[in-house]
């Protein structure tokens, strides 16, 4: 009976470890998002994280004026990337991100974590 209990505990710990890794550390998806950076900040009570938001143009009318938009909220772990984004409000950016199933408080408030800036340019007027 004791061996059976030890085996059940080991299997349970192994299952929880695999589940935790898959949920919080395995990137579910990655890709690029482009849009106008409208907000970027360093915030938090216990864990100070870098958070940002870009607006992606959606439906457009003539003459190329956005009618509907899509907001993309993201977090940044790398301080060098965060420092680069700090001065980019009001500019069009292309960001590379990883999407996770769950979020961790020290990684940010979003399940989307940006790791690279691919392009920064002034918006077309």
- The pTM for the full model equals 0.79
Q: Where are the domains of the chain?
A: 28-121
To the question of domain 28-121 being in CATH 3.40.309.10, the answer is: no
pLDDT in tens, the chain (125 residues): 888 899 999 999 999 999 999 999 999 899 999 999 999 999 988 999 999 999 987 655 566 666 667 889 999 999 999 999 998 888 999 999 999 998 888 888 999 999 999 999 887 76
Q: Per residue, what are the HEC states of the chain? A: CHHHHHHHHHHHHHHHHHHHHHHHCCEEEEEEEEEEEEEEEEECCCCCEEEEEEEEECCEECCCEECCEEEEEEEECCHHHHHHHHCCCCCEEEEEEEEECCCCCCCCCCCEEEEEEEEEECCCC
């Amino acid at each position: 009976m004791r061996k059976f209990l030890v085996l059940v505990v080991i299997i349970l710990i192994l299952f929880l470890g695999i589940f935790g890794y898959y949920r919080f550390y395995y990137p579910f998806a990655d890709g690029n998002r482009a849009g106008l950076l409208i907000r970027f900040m360093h915030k938090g009570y216990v864990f100070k994280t870098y958070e940002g938001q870009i607006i992606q143009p959606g439906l457009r009318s003539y003459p190329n004026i956005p009618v509907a938009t899509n907001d993309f909220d993201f977090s940044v772990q790398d301080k060098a990337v965060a420092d680069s984004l700090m001065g980019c409000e009001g500019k069009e950016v292309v960001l590379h991100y990883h999407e996770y199933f769950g979020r961790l408080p020290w990684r940010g408030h979003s399940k989307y974590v940006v790791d690279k800036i691919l392009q920064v340019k002034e918006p077309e007027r």
